[in-house]
Each structure stands twice: as structure tokens, then as C-alpha cells.
Structure 1
Amino acid sequence: MKNFLDIDEKIEANGKALEFYYNNYQKTQSKLSLLVLLYSIISIYIVQILKFPFDKYKEVETSIFIIYLILLLYFLYLFIASIYNTFQILKPEDVAYLNNPNYFYVYIKKQYEESLETNDEDTLNAYLKETYLNELEIALTKNIELYKTKSRYFYNAFTKLLPALILYVLCSGIIIFNTDEKTEIEIKNYKEIIKYSDTINSKKNH
């Protein structure tokens, strides 16, 4: 059974936790590819969705037009909220890293030798361990908060984007079924979207 009061056990536990949260922070950043793919899908038809109320307001029944406006406004709210949260994920943050080991056994050791006026290795080692543990705990606390913040932004971005996609489909359906002439959807970037999707799948397979 581990002794959590032992400083070596504390250093080991904090070191593992620091690595765990750093790796999970990186995974949170990598999940952005999924959001980008969904945004790309929405970009295919969003111009037509925004133009429809202005181009067809005289040709569509009032009840359908009102329903469309409600769906459109709710879609825009969710879509913009999702983009805001995605921007917060992309915003650079100062990730906490540890100093190089020689910082402790050269620079910090020299400081303790001068301040304590001793060359006793056991005494210096005890002080160095305490200093190293303190830096570990500071870095861990900062990275835990960073991981939680970025995870919350990803959760908000994704959970707002999913209902926005449903509203996007509903708005597109109203446009298609309320347009007399044949609706042509110009997809200029479909090759890029497919290529991007294939790239993501290939990375997952590896």
C-alpha cells in the first residue's frame, strides 16, 4: 500500500497526474477536427438558408414563413454559440511545463548551498525534493483547470452544434419544398470536405 505522506510517493503521483492531464488536454484539442467537419457541412447550404427569407417572403405562406423564421433564428443562435465555444478552444493558453531536471540539481542546488551554508547531500536532497514537488503541484493544478475549461468549451460547442444541424436540415427542407423551380445546390467545396473526412479516418485507423 502506498504511503501518500512519503515525498517520493507524492512526486510519483503528481508526475503521473500531470502527464495524464496534459495528454488529455492534447486529445481535447485534436477533437476539433470533428467540429470543423460539421461546420464544413453546414457551410454547403448556409447562404441559401440566409437568403431565403429575403428572396421568397412574398411567395411562401405566412404560417410557413413564420415557422421558418423561428427555426432560422434558433439555428443562428445555436450556430453562433457553438462557434464562440470553438473559438475559446482554439484560443492559445499557457500550458504549464516543468523546468529541465538540471534546473533543480544545478541552479536550485547551488541556491540552497549558499542559503543553508551546507554541502550535506541528504539535506540538499530533501530541500530539492520539496522544491520539485511544489513545482509539480503548481503545474498540475494549472493544467487540471486548463483541461476542465477546454473540455467544457468542447462540450458546449458540440452540444449546441448537434441541434443546430437538425434545424439546418429542417430549414433546408422548407426551402426545397417551397421553391417552384428546381433547386440546385452548388457545392463548391465538397471535394475538400470528402478529402478532409478521409484524412481524419486514416489518422484514426493508424
Structure 2
Amino acid sequence: MSQKSFYDLEYLIEINEKRIEEYISAYQKILERLTNIVIVYSALAIFFIPICQDLFQSEITHWLFISSFVIFVGLFSFSLYFTIRLIIPEDVAYLGSPKRYYNTLRWEYEQLIEKQSFDWQENIDKQLQASYVGELERILTTNIRAFVKKSSFYYNALTFSLLSAVPFLICLGFHIMKKEDKIQKVKIIKQEKILNLHLYKLDSIMYDAKKTNSGKPPIKFGTTSNLPGVDNSKVIPSSPFIIRENSSKIRKMKDVPAWWDEDDFKDHNSWSLLSVLNKYFKKLF
């Protein structure tokens, strides 16, 4: 392996080309890391509008809330300024076509150097390498300057955005406490409304009960059955519910009519529908 020397133009070309590739790659990675700043901005934007409403609608007037909001706006403005500077394109240098060296510059050097000398091609080759090294140095200088500027913009934008999160969290704490107070007030009001509604329903039920009891006809006593040991005149009659077959309609049997005679139905063998209807029409007419 040959020892590398800075007197060797080929070695100078090699190290300059490597440095150019490294700085271009680093420059592109800075733009890729812009997503870190976007994530911080997205987290701050979730509660930014509600906090502004608390301030401008005078819902929160505490001095710490107002001062924290002012500090947040200042730090966030600096961060936004550097973020915009980071997004703005910067001048980056790249290598041109090599045809310029082996065609244009070579012809120009051939006009300047006498061809009679035995080593004129070697001299022209060194001059071309020197021109190429000079171009590489200018490209590297331009890209280093662009990389340093973008790095400073990214660092300042991210730093100020993280610093602005501290007063923003203080404002967020005031906003959350205010929201909890509203929730508790709403719960108390709802409980009062529910209690008043229950009291109103209870009063309505009691009023309807009184009205029903006052307008209710007197209870009828008496039963058609002659039960042993029971005063039939003091027995409250009870009627079953009547359901029509294959129907969901339910009605309650009316009171037993005065002409009802239980003896007609004691003898099931002699009972018939015609005899009952005949007796019914006789008593009516």
C-alpha cells in the first residue's frame, strides 16, 4: 500500500470528493429531521385554540396564565422564524460535467504550454488536476456553509419549540382546571334538575291519586256465592281479565249484572246457550 501524501494531487482529489459526499448527505439528513419539529408543533396545536379562547374571552384572568401565554408566544415565534429559515432552500454546489476538463480546459492549456517539451502532456495533466481540485474546494466550501446554516436553523427551531412547551403546559393546566370546574357545575345543575323533576313527578302522582280517590265511585260489596261463615254483603267482588282467543286485546270483566242467577249454571248437563239467551231476553222485555 503506497503512502498517501498531500503533495499528491490524486490524493487531494480523493479526500475532497469524500468530504463533498459527506456534507451533502449530512445536509439532506437535516431536512429529514424536520419531522421532529413538526411533531412538537402538532402537540402544541391540539390545545392552542382553546387556550386562546380562554385568554381573549376573559375566562381565565390569572396573572400566571397571562404571563405564561406571553412567554409561550415569544418563544414559539422565534421557533417558527427559524423553522421558516430552515425550509427556505439554500445554495448547494455540485460537480459539473467532466467534459469541461478533458475538452475545454485541456484545449486552453494546450494553447498556453509549448508542445515542444518532452513532458508537456504531464504538465497539462497536472494543471487540469489542479483546476479540478480548486473546483472541489469551492464546492466543499459552499456546502459546508449551507450545512452549518441549516444546522443552526434546525437547532434553534427545535430548542425554542421545546422551551415554549414549558409555559404552554402551565396554560394547559389552567385550561384543564377551568374545564373541571365547568364539569362539576354542570353536574350540580343536572342533579338539581333531576331532583326537581322527581319532586314534580311525585307531586303529580299525589295530585292524581287524590283526584282519582275523590272522583272514584264507592266500592261495591257483595258476592253471588253463599260462602259458609262469611258475610257476603261485605265481600268486595273481584273480576278476572278476559283475553280473546288468538288476540292480544285484554279487557276486564264488568260487574256481574243484577239478573245474574248462578243457579242457571249449576246444572252443567241441562245448561245451554239458548236457555241462557232466552232467560236474558225475558228479563229485559
Specify the TM-score bucket, using the shorter chain as the normaliser. Answer: 0.7 to 0.9
> What is the distance in 1 between the residues matched to 2:151 and 2:141?
16
Which structure 1 residue ranges, 5 or more long, are not aligned?
184-206
Report Cα offsets for 1:169-204 as digits up to 9, x if no partner: 221111110243249xxxxxxxxxxxxxxxxxxxxx
Please give the residue correspondences for 1:54-69 in structure 2 after superposition, counting only pairs within 5 Å. 54-57=56-59, 60=60, 65-69=62-66
> What is the distance in 2 between the residues matched to 1:152 and 1:98?
25
Q: Residue 196 of structure 1 corresponds to which residue in structure 2?
A: none
CA RMSD between the two structures: 1.9
Change (3 A) 1:182 1:116: farther
> What is the distance in 2 between the residues matched to 1:16 and 1:94?
19
Deviation of 1:164 (Å): 1.2
Q: Residue 8 of structure 1 corresponds to which residue in structure 2?
A: 10
> What is the distance in 2 between the residues matched to 1:182 and 1:161?
32
Report Cα offsets for 1:52-75 as digits up to 9, x if no partner: 122135xx4x6xx11011111111
Q: Residue 161 of structure 2 corresponds to which residue in structure 1?
A: 161
TM-score under structure 2 normalisation? 0.59
Q: Residue 139 of structure 1 corresponds to which residue in structure 2?
A: 139
1:122 aligns with 2:122: yes
1:42 aligns with 2:39: no
Which structure 2 residue ranges, 5 or more long, are not aligned?
185-285
Residue type at the aligned position of 1:152? S
Of 98, 105, 108, which residue of structure 1 is paired with 2:102? 105
> What is the distance in 2 between the residues matched to 1:11 and 1:172?
57
Change (3 A) 1:117 1:9: same
**Larger helix proportion, structure 1 or 2?**
1
Of 76, 81, 84, which residue of structure 1 is paired with 2:81? 84
Residue type at the aligned position of 2:56? F
Deviation of 1:118 (Å): 3.8
Report Cα offsets for 1:127-148 as digits up to 9, x if no partner: 1000000000011011111111
Q: Residue 170 of structure 1 corresponds to which residue in structure 2?
A: 170
The worse-fitting range, judged by mean Cα deviation, of 40-49 and 1-10 is 1-10
> What is the distance in 2 between the residues matched to 1:40 and 1:73?
20
Deviation of 1:31 (Å): 0.5
Residue type at the aligned position of 2:73? L
Residue type at the aligned position of 1:28? I
Deviation of 1:115 (Å): 3.3
Q: Residue 181 of structure 1 corresponds to which residue in structure 2?
A: 182
Q: Residue 228 of structure 2 corresponds to which residue in structure 1?
A: none
> What is the distance in 1 between the residues matched to 2:121 and 2:7?
22
Report Cα offsets for 1:57-107 as digits up to 9, x if no partner: 5xx4x6xx1101111111111111111111111111110111122221112
Deviation of 1:9 (Å): 1.4
Residue type at the aligned position of 1:157? A
Paired residues, number? 178
The worse-fitting range, judged by mean Cα deviation, of 145-154 and 103-112 is 103-112
Change (3 A) 1:171 1:112: same
